Chain A
Amino acid sequence: MTLYILCFALFLVGLYGILTKRDLVKIILSSGIMGYAGNLMIVLFGYRRGAIYPILEKGKEAAAMVDPLPQALVLTSIVIELGVTALLAALSIRLFQKYRTYDITKIRKLSG
């Protein structure tokens, strides 16, 4: 039970980082932390007590295994977040080219 609470606390740490940090790169890193906390929660929900990894190897018998479906979901989710992080990194490079700063309180041409 404490594992779930700690994982949720990691999610809240990432959320806190996005909301309060002023540097563009720190915002990107915080969104990464939040995404990894979500993935960890999915894998944790697949755990079965006393079971082993879900791979059938030659020579071993089929024992009780943890749920393999969340692990497949997490694989897809990691790749999606890789794409979003790459897009955010490219956008922050172009923002630095145009605005000459990484500080989001100064990147405010649009308002109202």
Chain B
Amino acid sequence: MITPYFVIIPLLAAFVIPFVSRRRDTGAVLLSLAAAAALLGLSAYAFFGLSGETLVYRMSAWKLPIGINLVLDAFTSFMLIMVSLVALTSLMYSVKYMRRFGRDWRYYSLFMILVAGMNGVIVTGDLFNLFVFMEIALFAALALVAYGGRAHEFEASFKYAVMASISASFILLAIAIVYSATSTLGLATISQAFSRQSPLLVLWVGGLFMAGFGLKAAAMPFHAWLPDAHSSAPSPISAMLSGVLIKTLGVYVLIRLFYNVMGAPPLFLNIFLGLGSVSILAGVVLAVGQWDIKRLLAYHSISQIGYILLAMGLNTTLGMAGAVFHMINHAVFKSLLFYNAGALETALGTRDLREMGNVAKLLPVTARTSMVASLSISGIPPFNGFFSKLIIIVAAVQAGHPVLALVAVVGSLLTLASFMKVQRYGLRGGRPVEKLVGKVDGWMKTAMIILAVLCLVTSLLIVPGIREVTLDPIVKVIMDKTAYATAVLGK
């Protein structure tokens, strides 16, 4: 019953905002904060109130296979919690951060459309509906990347737009082939018809989907748009893009398509293993030599998504638990790192690590949360990065790929090296800094402290009592593979 509200609430907020704010943007800020808080409350209620069953909502009261379904199960509500959490902290951060671009309500409207598009991708159970919501989120992301109006932002946005339109064409071709073979578009009915198809068709469709959605997830051969787009965007938008957009449009759709619809064909899972391990190494090697702090963080996003793809390709319960756990960990600590980079840029006026100095005394909140986030991403106990990387490495060894476990360990060590570089130059560097160019505001500090506390709290998800309530239902939904179809069609 509550399933369509996840898309209706942000769309309503996005279209009412132009009416309530003429010259000052206070109405826009209040409305968008209220909408994001409402979404967080609804998704928490959905996750803890469901206890493992699948809800199906029929749009326009048409039945399958004619109508469009919205499906709410454990994996869906987990992703919804992740999206609304990062969206709420990002809105809190951007209240004062966006004042430098003037008091404009258009940013909040575009932000709400981005959240609506991502929620639509997560909730839908129909293939073409997924494509439409993906394009909606893409428009909003393109406009937000180019929001500042400087030269390099337009270039980054153009590159992102061209590569995203190539991937959309690939996905459209794959949808055409799937429709011609199965004569239906709902994910559940496709998965039931897929077991009877020829292997050549599965090869074509899987390859096209992997190319299309792999580009959205920034897997290795398709990663070229990510460093430019995520480093040129304003910091709260970088946190949204890197924290949730590549996971929603890329990893979530890949898991749904390759596990629940196609039933985990082994050829594609081996390709995921290869893509994942190449992404880990290449992302972290390219990141060590960067001096621009946001570009370094963007390359690390590629590397961490490589971890998730590696765990996806293992086809074991432990591996999938590691992938899901790493998704929420990465959302939390990568957003915190981008907020810190934005705070450093506001306070010091530069993004180059060589020009920053010793600011540990002047910006205490930024320095301490940055230390928390750097320890999390490098995998140091007791922060959450350690536990999720440990699960992934153990799962790789158990599944019989010790070389990939070694790759994951090497990637983790190089991540530690590059973040020690960030800490040394960016925050405790040699040159003393006396005065700051700008002020880090109370809203920004609150957002950073919330995420730093969550870095510690999410490591509790591994404790066996809590894990049965939170992580296990999600892994069960994914690893049940095509039982998804019978669960949806039985309602």
Contact = CB atoms under 8 A, between A and B. Distances in A.
Interface in B127-170: 128, 132, 135, 139, 142-143, 146, 151-152, 154-158, 161-162, 165-166, 168-169
Given A45-B179, A99-B151, A91 B157 contact: yes
A4 B98 CA distance: 50
Contacts of B155: 95, 99, 107-110
B176 interface: yes
Nearest to B286: A112
A41 B173 CA distance: 7
Interface in B177-211: 177, 179-180, 185
Dominant secondary structure of chain A at its interface with chain B: helix
Interface in A38-72: 38-39, 41-42, 45, 69-70
A87 interface: yes
A107 B295 CA distance: 18
A80 B151 contact: no
Contacts of A35: 165, 168-169, 172
B181 to A, nearest CB: 9
Contacts of A14: 169
Contacts of B175: 42, 73
Contact of B158 (A39, A81, A92, A112): A92
Interface string A66-102: 0001100100110011011001100110110011000
A77 B172 contact: yes
Give the contact-size bracket for chain B: 20 to 34
B290 A91 contact: no
A14 B146 CA distance: 26
Nearest to B172: A38
Dominant secondary structure of chain B at its interface with chain A: helix
Interface string A25-42: 001000100110111011
B76 interface: no
A31 B128 CA distance: 20
Contacts of B378: none
A42 B166 contact: no
A38 B232 contact: no
Interface in B95-154: 128, 132, 135, 139, 142-143, 146, 151-152, 154
Nearest to A99: B151
B176 A41 contact: yes
A24 B161 CA distance: 12
A31 B166 contact: yes
B462 to A, nearest CB: 37
A67 to B, nearest CB: 8
Nearest to B184: A69
A18 B169 CA distance: 12
Given A14-B169, A76-B132, A88-B161, 15 more contacts: A18-B166, A31-B165, A34-B165, A35-B168, A41-B173, A42-B172, A45-B179, A73-B175, A84-B165, A91-B154, A91-B161, A94-B154, A99-B155, A107-B155, A112-B227
Interface of B: 128, 132, 135, 139, 142-143, 146, 151-152, 154-158, 161-162, 165-166, 168-169, 172-173, 175-177, 179-180, 185, 227-228, 231-232, 290, 295
Interface of A: 11, 14-15, 18, 24, 27, 31, 34-35, 37-39, 41-42, 45, 69-70, 73, 76-77, 80-81, 83-84, 87-88, 91-92, 94-95, 98-99, 107-110, 112
